[in-house]
Amino acid sequence: MRALGDVFDRSAYPDVLVGLSEPDDAAVLDLGQGRALILTTDFFTPVVDEPYDFGAIAAANALSDVYAMGGDPVLALNLVAFPPQLSAATLAELLRGGAEVVRSAGAVIAGGHSIQDKEPKYGLCVVGFCETSRLLKKGGAQAGDALFLTKPLGTGTITTALKRGIASGNEVSVAVASMKRLNRAASRAALASGVKAATDVTGFGLLGHALEMAEASGVRLRFEWNALPWLPGALRLAGEMVFPGGAFNNLEHFGGRLKRVRTLTDGEVMLLADPQTSGGLLVAVPAAGMAEFTGSIGRAGEEAWLVGEVVDGAGLDIV
């Protein structure tokens, strides 16, 4: 959208609350009377072998942008690219995986679009609604807020290891379960505890998305390395430098703004840039809301990890 800045003047579209200037997780349109519409889309090539799991992961990933903005998804459209040599049964399983995740979110798939392509791709266009007064954005974090992550990290290295045949069955199954899990409980906990700033951790890795939040909020984010949660196998694979190409791109683009107060290995630094698929939310929780946030997460039967704090300044620290 930055390249289109001279085409769509933000001042000419006052009802577009998010999407025409600063980067965020979805576009938001003011509907009036305290309501807003959230619109997002995402799709990608397979990250796992099973068609059903691929569909479920891609759907959870697309829905996540609505949750990251503090909304509830209501409607989705399938986006499908599929090679003609693959079976109709494979496509049916892929779509079933996506449909069941969307249904579990309380939304509905009402059509979509498909094309033939050499490599399968799947995702969704998703519509949701939120209250304008409770909209979550990447900006809004304030010094003194606590930083929470709501899913462990490491999906990029583990799915890369799966493609290379060097991931264990347990490592893959735990990662798949994490990627299929919705960020609904995390979003609702954030809203209940007065959170103003949140984002989901996806393709730019923790490093990139945290820097986006820091820059949008005009603050510095400080993470404690030993508090960061990792999926089983992530640290082992990082030691072997098993990463997708996107991790190297992320480190090249964002790494210069990372201040390492502690010594990290090359693999550990790469983990910070590891692109995540259907990752958790990174949430800046005000001190007064911490008990409500952790309590709400716990009542939903899920977890959140206190991984750092928001401080004055700019950029990102790892201590």
pLDDT tens digits, one per residue of 128-144: 999 999 999 999 999 99
Whether 93 contacts 52, CB under 8 Å: yes
Whether 123 contacts 62, CB under 8 Å: yes
User: Cα Rg for the chain, rounded, in angstroms?
Assistant: 19
Average confidence (pLDDT) over 165-194: 98
pLDDT in tens, 257-305: 888 778 899 999 999 999 999 999 999 999 999 999 999 999 999 999 9
Q: How far apart are CA 68 and CA 80, in angstroms?
A: 24
**What is the model's pLDDT at position 95?**
98
Residue 181 sits at φ, ψ, to 5 deg, of -80, 135
For 241-273, letters b (16+ CB in 10 Å) and e give ebbbebbebbbeebbeebeeeeeeeebbbbbbb
Q: Name the pLDDT band for 104 (thresholds 50, 70, 90).
A: very high
Can you list the alpha helix ranges (DSSP code H) found in the chain?
51-68, 88-104, 155-164, 169-180, 184-192, 205-217, 234-239, 245-254, 266-273, 290-299
**What is the model's pLDDT at position 262?**
83
End-to-end CA distance of the chain: 34
Looking at every residue in the chain, the average pLDDT score rounds to 95
Average confidence (pLDDT) over 155-181: 98
**What is the model's pLDDT at position 261?**
76
Q: Say yes or no to pLDDT of 4 above 80.
A: no
Q: Say yes or no to pLDDT of 120 above 80.
A: yes
Q: Say yes or no to pLDDT of 10 above 90.
A: no
pLDDT in tens, 222-265: 999 999 999 999 999 999 999 999 999 999 999 988 887 788 99
DSSP string for 238-257: HHTT---HHHHHHHHHHGGG
**What is the model's pLDDT at position 137?**
96
Supply the pTM of this predicted model.
0.95
Domains in the chain: ranges and CATH: 2-134 (3.30.1330.10), 146-318 (3.90.650.10)
Strand partners, 125: 41, 77
Q: How far apart are CA 64 and CA 124, in angstroms?
A: 11
Average confidence (pLDDT) over 186-209: 97
Average confidence (pLDDT) over 165-176: 97
Whether 222 contacts 319, CB under 8 Å: yes
The rounded percent of the chain whose pLDDT value lies above 90 is 92
Instruction: Calculate the alpha carbon distances from 111 to 87, 117, 285 in Å.
Output: 21, 19, 37
Whether 119 contacts 45, CB under 8 Å: yes
Whether 137 contacts 214, CB under 8 Å: no
State the DSSP code for 131. Answer: E
pLDDT in tens, 20-39: 887 789 999 999 999 999 99
Instruction: Give the helix/strand (H/E) hosting 42.
Output: strand 35-44
Q: Name the pLDDT band for 177 (thresholds 50, 70, 90).
A: very high
